[in-house]
Chains A and B, each alone.
Chain A
């Protein structure tokens, strides 16, 4: 279990309080190496405009990666993220119908529906004792079916949502700012709030956590609600990005959400890791994709590279744990 998250204050001097996380250092080195390589290959790679593109491309993976990290920390997994993105996108487009004046109630309603999907996931896992993989695979099919019933074909959304995706504040894209704010809040909650410590405790040993008096049902349900909320927001953001909501626009995003989690050193067994690694891993993968685009590598080989990176990362970390 990650002790520094459990005991927020101790007597050590500040530079010894946090052990240096080797995964974070490794990812930072990789990120710098990528930027260096890219800058050598073409000066356009390290330019401000390309870095802003990378920051834009990282928004959706970062949003859903943060949600997935919290679920994985409780030793569960959420495979319904892709379908929740689709549902959220379709609902936003269908309810708002290109009319920006409706957004003030559409966004809370959509977020509420998505978060209740998360609540259902949490209740099925904790009350019916269904394994998280099967539960979220099942709810994923149900939600995907619902999304297709609501709108079998993509629907135009309100174009004002594009502000979210394409406008900048102080030179930084709005979406990136929002995702980073979510990251900061999650980091703070995981490290300094009781619920954060409880999430680690439940992931480390659920039985022991329950005996200690932690309401494990509440903790696991909160994690699923948070993850579904992140996916729901990612769906709304994608409506802004694409200009429309499609019932299949979230397909494949389960893997996109899990990849940075495992690459960032969060163990699938739960209770170890954090959102810091996820943030670095998201930017590493976004930079890598950008570099591969500059090198004109086809999307198909980018899939292969993504899969191989996940396999290498997870086999390294799981081996370390067994030793």
Chain B
């Protein structure tokens, strides 16, 4: 017990600096290590490559942040991404299909989020279990429709969304990512409903007592998360240019790791989408670093597990994260 308290005070004495500053500091340190050990990662081409990879992960991590802000967890994002990928490959490759694909993806993924939110708020189901069960339901329906077979390549505009660039410099999906990031940060910081998300996340009962419709806020967060996952699924399908029933596999863990690493507290009400974006960037840099060093790719998984446990263990001891 005494040891634990010592450890706690030691960790707290990292400074009373806000956690955000520490996260930024860690990122800066990481970049320095990368620059020394793997200088090839800082060529323009490599940076562009990493930005393209950041697109899908960043979008789904921001969605996950919304859900974690209201003390939830969404394990169904990967299956929503695969569903969006399947949808984006099933309307043919005419340019007009874009006007079918995008609304369908948003309606289907939003619908999955709505069911998640309704079950979690109205029937009081544990978020992780509800989304885990939805995962297998959606996976079953999708596989039954596609008969489990891969669907081949994606239409050209989805491909542009995934790996196209503007003037050969800025990836299109980075623009999309920044757009969604700025919009969601604006909503969370400046819009009344966004502020209410923090209130519901930090103290749901108090939020209900001051007249906030807490269920509506929570459900909205799940819908936003699923729609973000759907968008991310389209982007990832375009990036891979190959659609099967398992696009986005592993993104449930990656998105949670990114959000938690970026300072979104699992206890709810602390953090934001920009933090999640930063966390996603760290994850992409680390993954590429492991590739650059020539370490077997399975170490990426081990690294993610270690990172998320360490991040949560350290944040659990910091006052401004509770």
Residues of chain A whose beta carbon lies under 8 Å from any beta carbon of chain B: 77, 79, 124, 127-131, 133-135, 137-146, 148-149, 152, 252, 254-255, 258, 262, 268, 298, 300-308, 310-311, 314-315, 318-319, 321-322
Residue B124 at the A interface, CB < 8 A?
Answer: yes
Contact call B316/A129, Cβ cutoff below 8 A? yes
Contact A306-B136, Cβ < 8 Å, known A128-B313, A130-B309, A319-B124: yes
Which residues, 160 to 211 on B, are CB-close (under 8 Å) to A?
none
* Inter-chain contact A134/B133, CB cutoff 8 Å: no
Smallest beta-carbon distance A64→chain B, Å: 15
Let me know if B313 and A307 touch, CB within 8 A.
no
Q: B141 at interface (Cβ–Cβ under 8 A)?
A: yes
**Closest 4 interchain pairs by CB?**
A303-B140, A145-B301, A307-B137, A141-B305
**C-alpha spacing A308/B138, complex, angstroms:** 10
B residues neighboring A (CB under 8 Å): 4, 73, 119, 123-126, 128-130, 132-137, 139-141, 143-144, 148, 253, 256, 260, 266, 296, 298-302, 304-306, 308-309, 312-313, 316-317
Question: Could you tell me the distance between the alpha carbons of A252 and B249 in the complex, rounded to whole angstroms?
Answer: 12
Of B133, B135, B144, B312, the residue contacting A301 (CB under 8 A) is: B144
Report which of A128, A134, A141, A308 forms a contact with B301, defined as CB distance below 8 A.
A141
| Contact B132 A254, beta carbon cutoff 8 Å | yes
Q: Chain B residues near A134 (CB, 8 Å)?
A: 256, 260, 266, 308-309, 312
User: Which chain B positions have C-beta within 8 A of A301?
Assistant: 140, 144
Which residues of B sit under 8 angstroms from A308, Cβ to Cβ? 133, 137
Give bound CA distance, A231 to B275, whole Å. Answer: 36
Q: A134-B312, A322-B124 are in contact. Are A300 and B141 (CB under 8 A)?
A: yes
Complex Cα–Cα for A146 and B304 (A): 12
User: 10 A-B pairs, CB-CB below 8 angstroms?
Assistant: A138-B309, A142-B301, A145-B305, A146-B302, A149-B298, A252-B136, A258-B129, A268-B126, A307-B137, A318-B124
A300 to B4, CA, bound (A): 49
In this complex, which of A124, A130, A301, A306 has the most chain B Cβ atoms within 10 angstroms of its Cβ?
A130
Q: Is A133 within 8 A of B73, CB to CB?
A: yes
- The distance in angstroms between the C-alpha atoms of A255 and B309, with both chains bound, is 21
Given A138-B308, A146-B302, A304 and B123 contact (CB-CB distance below 8 Å) = no
Closest to A252 in B: B136
What residue of chain B has the Cβ atom nearest to residue A148's Cβ? B298
- Given contact pairs A145-B298, A298-B144, a sample of 12 additional A-B residue pairs in the complex whose CB atoms are under 8 Å apart: A128-B316, A129-B316, A130-B316, A135-B309, A141-B302, A144-B301, A145-B305, A258-B132, A304-B144, A310-B133, A314-B129, A315-B119
Complex-state Cα separation, A310 to B128, whole angstroms: 12
Distance between Cα atoms of A306 and B137 in the complex (Å): 8
Q: A142-B306, A149-B298, A310-B133 are in contact. Are A124 and B126 (CB under 8 A)?
A: no
| Cα–Cα distance between A262 and B124 once the two chains are bound (Å) | 14
| Cα distance A307–B76 in the bound complex, in angstroms | 12
- Chain B residues with CB below 8 A from A322, complex form: 124
Closest to B3 in A: A127
If the complex has contacts A128-B313, A315-B124, are A141 and B143 also in contact, measured as CB distance less than 8 A? Answer: no
By a CB distance below 8 angstroms, the chain A residues around B298 are 145-146, 148-149, 152
Cβ-defined partner of A128 (8 Å) among B73, B128, B305, B309: B309
Chain A residue with minimal CB distance to B144? A300
How near does chain A come to B133, taking the closest CB pair, in angstroms?
Answer: 4
Q: Pick the contact of A314 from B126, B136, B302 — CB < 8 Å? A: B126
Minimum CB–CB distance from B142 to chain A (whole Å) comes to 8
State the CA gap A298–B139 with chains docked (Å): 13
A261's closest neighbor in chain B, by CB? B129
A132 to chain B, nearest CB (A): 10
CB neighbours of A314 from chain B (8 A): 125-126, 129-130, 133
A71 to B248, CA, bound (A): 30
- Check B305–A142 contact: CB distance below 8 A: yes
Chain A residues, CB < 8 A from B124: 315, 318-319, 321-322
- The answer to whether A138 touches B306, judged by C-beta atoms less than 8 angstroms apart, is yes
The answer to whether B137 and A303 have CB atoms under 8 Å apart is yes
Give Cα A305 to B144, complex, Å: 12
State the CA gap A133–B305 with chains docked (Å): 12
Task: Select which of A130, A133, A262 is within 8 A of B313 by beta carbon.
Answer: A130
Chain B nearest CB from A248 CB (Å) reads: 11
Can you name the residue of chain B whose Cβ is closest to the Cβ of A254?
A: B132
In the bound complex, residues from chain B placing their C-beta under 8 Å from that of A268 are: 126, 129
B117 to chain A, nearest CB (A): 13
- Given that A134-B266, A141-B301 are known contacts, is A311 also in contact with B312, CB under 8 Å in the complex? no
Query: Judging by beta carbons under 8 Å apart, are A137 and B140 in contact?
Result: no
Other-chain residue from B130, B148, B256 in contact with A137 (beta carbon distance below 8 A): B256
Considering only CB atoms, which chain A residue lies closest to B4 in the complex?
A: A127
Q: Which of A124, A144, A300, A302 has the most CB of B within 10 A?
A: A300
> What chain A residues lie within 8 Å of B132 (beta carbons)?
254-255, 258
- Contact check, B123 vs A318: say whether CB atoms are below 8 A apart: yes
Instruction: Say yes or no: A141 contacts B312, CB within 8 Å.
Output: no
Output the least CB separation between B122 and chain A (Å): 9
Q: Which residues of A contact B304 (CB under 8 A)?
A: 138, 141
Which residues in B have their C-beta under 8 angstroms from that of A137? 253, 256, 305, 308
Q: How far is the CB of A9 from chain B (nearest CB, A)?
A: 35
Nearest-CB residue, chain A, relative to B302: A145
A134 to B128: give the CA distance in the assembly, Å: 10
Are A307 and B140 touching (Cβ within 8 A)? yes
Complex CA–CA separation, A124 to B312 (angstroms)? 10
* Contact across chains for A131 and B312 when beta carbons are under 8 A apart: yes
Determine whether the beta carbon of B133 is less than 8 Å from that of A311: yes
Q: With A139-B305, A145-B298 in contact, do A318 and B141 touch (Cβ < 8 Å)?
A: no
How far apart sit A124 and B302, CA to CA, in the bound complex (Å)? 16
